[in-house]
Amino acid sequence: MSGRQMSILIGLVVLLAIVSNSIYVVNERERAVLLKFGEVVSTDIQPGLHFKIPVVNDVRRFESRLITLDSSPQRYLTAEKKALIVDSYVKWRVADAGRFYTATGGDEFSANSLLASRVDNGLRNKFGERTVYEVVSGERDVLMAEITKELDDIALNELGIHVLDVRVKGIDLPPEVSNAVYSRMSTEREREARDHRSRGRELAEGIEADADRQKTVIEANAYREAEQIRGEGDAIAAEIYANAYNQDPEFYSFHRSIQAYKSSFAGKDDLLVIDPESDFFRYLKNPDGK
Amino acid sequence: MAWNEPGNNGRDPWGGGNRNDQGPPDLDEVVKKLQQGLNGLFGKSGGGSGGGSDSGDGPGFDFSGKVVGVFALIALIAYGALGLYKVDEQERAVVLRFGQFLETKTPGLRWNAPIIDEVNKVNVTRVRTHTSQGVMLTEDENIVDVTLAVQYVISSPQDFLLNVREPEVTLTHATDSAVRHVVGSAEMTAVISEGREALGVDVQQRLQDYLDNYVAGLRIVKVNLENSQPPSQVQPAFDDVIKAREDEQRLKNQAEAYSNGVIPESRGRAQRVLEEANAYREQVVAQAQGEADRFLKLLAEYRKAPEVTRQRLYIDAVQEVMQRSSKVMVDVDSGSNIMYLPLDRIAGQVAPSIANQNRASASSVQQSAGALTPGDIRGLTDQVIQEIRSRQTNDSQRGSIR
């Protein structure tokens, strides 16, 4: 009885072990290859519950999600022999699990290093064919598309990797060149600043000169008008005088002369040397005036 | 070993795996085991395997069947309870069955079989922010320092979880690439000043294209170009440009201030000149009018008695002249020898006293008002004072007589 129970128990344990070794789960994030004594028999096993023969079969799982290869910045020369420091990344995923396993042994790091050297080489060639302007702005998209396609073709065949995208993160100038660029930028700004200040002075001169002109013109016009008015006044006055005095010119000259005498001898400082024989002193000597 | 029950496997309703595990415990122990719950089940299984035969069939068998049933029920309930979970309104739950994608569950109370199913909850409404800062080249080979914030949400939890490893890192890389591409295709002035808004839109567009290409399950809500400025090395030069702009404005303002000061002033002066001219005209005309009227009135009287009037006017005028002026009368007989008259000396001494001059050769005629000498005046005042005193005494005498 006891022996029978034991054997059943052992049998069950063994069965359990066999069953658990026969079942394997491939996650949605993974792809797997099935090996039979080390030989690949089934590639690209989809996610889900799968069966295998214990001992005989072996399962290798690989990351199936998109993987980022972030390579370290490299120094490349452009067509005009200018150095640029380029930082890039690659997006790839395992496309052919069998070939990937064959090529890399399923090791992601070795895959990355293989890919990195190819990307480096590709970028170096592409940059060497182009000018700085072209890689920085003009043909950036074209360059990326070209290198992605070339790399994808090679990697798919050789590594079982699908390269989705190669992107340049940063294109920077080497530090010593950066300093030259900074000083150039500074001088450009100086130029602009000088321009602004000179324009300011130009405007100021113009405005002030205009003001001075207006001032001169206003005053000159005022002078002209004033002289006209004065002349007008003189004319009217002359007319009035003439009208009045023409009535008796002889009396006018008498009257005017008298007034002129009065105003001419106005103070004590005027010294008159008088002859008593004059008409005014007629009665001084003789009351008869004879 | 008393509770061990052998040989009843056939009647056990549960699976074969369970069959061996059951033993027939005593009543007391059954209660204890019940209380111990699941642990007890495993403990018993160990005991069962190690133990051999003991009591025969009987009441123990029935107990064992019930106990197993209860345990199984409890295990089932526990299993079921473990599969329950809550999906928040902000979340979606991605369910994998045996590693394979099954479905994405919406908010509410949800159940999935534990162990078999894997449940990953992802917040899909929260807006996350990624900030990126860097120095980069522009199209005209200048260098700018750009800081930008990317706001994004997880639009597809399935893609976010299953399609891309480290989606946030992917976003970081894609952002760096997109912003450098866009900045590299723009001129520095556009990046620094007016084109910033458009730049943000371009970056957003490009970044979304990249992420869609990667099927990262992320949606860019907004890209804000928080700051774009020249690098610190050239910042002073850029600041100087701003200062220069202000200087330009300042110089212009100063000139306008000068202009505003000068022109109204000159207008004022012009007004004054004109007013003075007008005043002169009025004055001259009025004077002329006045003098003419005076003359005409005089003329009218003159015509009534010409001879007398002329004589009177003449004498009045000469009198006035004589009154105001110093005079030297020279009485020279006609035909006498030449007389020397030191006019320059006379002119110098005219002011002090003209009366003492040249008495010998000339007689001076002075006006009556100015004829008194100091001695005469003293005599006159004495006489006047005496007269007043005598009148006063006469008055007082008269008063006393009364």
Q: Do A163 and A107 share a structural domain?
A: yes
Note whether B366 contacts A: Cβ–Cβ < 8 A.
Answer: no
User: Are B98 and A164 an interchain contact pair (Cβ–Cβ within 8 Å)?
Assistant: no
Same domain (yes/no): A80, A165: yes
Question: What is the average pLDDT score of chain B?
Answer: 76
- Of A155, A172, A189, the one marking the end of a domain is A172
Exposed/middle/buried for residue A19 (C-beta within 10 Å: 0-12, 13-18, 19+) = exposed
> Residue A45 domain-assigned?
yes
CA distance B381 to A109: 145
Asked if the Cβ–Cβ distance from B266 to A215 is below 8 Å, we say yes
Asked whether A160 and A94 are in contact (CB, 8 A), the reply is: yes
Whether residue A46 is found in the same domain as residue A141:
no
Instruction: Let me know if residue A40 belongs to a domain.
Output: yes
pLDDT attached to residue B364: 38
Query: Domain range holding A110?
Result: 67-172
Residue A68, strand partner residues: A91
Count of Cβ atoms closer than 10 Å to residue A276 Cβ = 16
d(CA B108, CA B121): 12
What band does B337 get if pLDDT is binned at 50, 70 and 90?
A: low
In a domain? residue A233:
no
- Interface probe with B: pick from A4, A167, A269, most Cβ of B within 10 Å: A167
At residue B352, does pLDDT exceed 60?
A: no
In total, chain B counts a number of residues equal to 402
B108-111 and B100-105 as β-strands: parallel, antiparallel, unpaired?
unpaired
Each residue of A2-45: pLDDT tens digit?
678 889 899 999 988 888 888 888 888 888 888 888 888 887 78
- Lowest pLDDT segment from B104-113, B123-132, B296-305, B367-376: B367-376
User: Do residues A168 and A79 share a domain?
Assistant: yes
Q: Which positions in chain B touch A4 (Cβ < 8 Å)?
A: none
Residue B235 has pLDDT above 80, yes or no: yes
Give the CA count within 13 Å in the CB-facing half-sphere of A143.
25
Q: Does A54 touch chain B (CB under 8 A)?
A: no
- Residues of B (225-244) whose Cβ lies below 8 Å from A: 230-231, 233-234, 236-238, 240-241, 243-244
Pick the CATH number of B128-233 from 3.40.50.300, 3.30.479.30, 3.40.30.10, 1.10.10.10: 3.30.479.30
Of B177, B324, B341, the CB nearest to A265: B324
B140-187 tens-digit pLDDT? 888 889 999 999 999 988 888 888 888 889 999 999 999 988 888 888
pLDDT tens sequence across B37-59: 544 444 444 443 333 344 444 44
Q: Are strands B128-137 and B117-123 parallel, antiparallel or unpaired?
A: unpaired
CA dihedral B166, B167, B171, B173 (to 10 degrees): 30
> Can you give the pLDDT at residue A168?
87
Task: Indicate if A121 and A82 belong to the same structural domain.
Answer: yes
Is A58 in the same domain as A114? no
Domain count, chain A: 2
Q: What is the pLDDT of residues A196-237, one digit of tens each?
A: 999 999 999 999 999 999 999 999 999 999 999 999 999 999
For residue A74, is it within any domain? Answer: yes
pLDDT at site B362: 39
Question: Model confidence at B396, in pLDDT bands (50, 70, 90)?
Answer: low
Judgement on whether residues A9 and A53 belong to the same structural domain of the protein: yes
Rounded Cα distance, B123 and B105, in Å: 12
Q: For residue A178, which amino acid is it?
A: S
Q: Which of residues 128-147 of B touch A (CB under 8 A)?
A: 134-137, 139, 141-143
Strand partners, A85: A75, A172
The answer to whether A240 contacts B292, with C-beta atoms less than 8 Å apart, is yes
Q: Find tokens 């110089």 and name the residue.
A: B251
Q: Cα–Cα distance between B134 and B340 in angstroms, integer?
A: 115
Give B 73-92 residues with CB within 8 A of chain A: none
Looking at the predicted structure, is the pLDDT value of residue B61 above 70?
A: no
Flag whether A76 is in a domain. Answer: yes
Residues in A closer than 8 angstroms to B252, CB to CB, are 200, 203-204, 207
Q: Mean per-residue pLDDT for B288-317?
A: 88
Q: Among partner residues A204, A219, A272, which is closest to B251 by beta-carbon distance?
A: A204
Q: What is the pLDDT of residue A270?
A: 72
The one-letter code for the residue type at A288 is: D
> pLDDT band for position B20 (50/70/90)?
very low
Residue B334 has pLDDT above 60, yes or no: no
Å between A156 CA and nearest CA of chain B: 17
| Whole-model pTM over 0.90 | no
Q: Could you say which of A38, A63, A88 is where a domain stops?
A: A63
Domain end among A35, A63, A91: A63
Give residue limits of the domains in chain B: 9-82, 85-123, 128-233, 234-329
* d(C-alpha A72, C-alpha A86), whole Å: 9
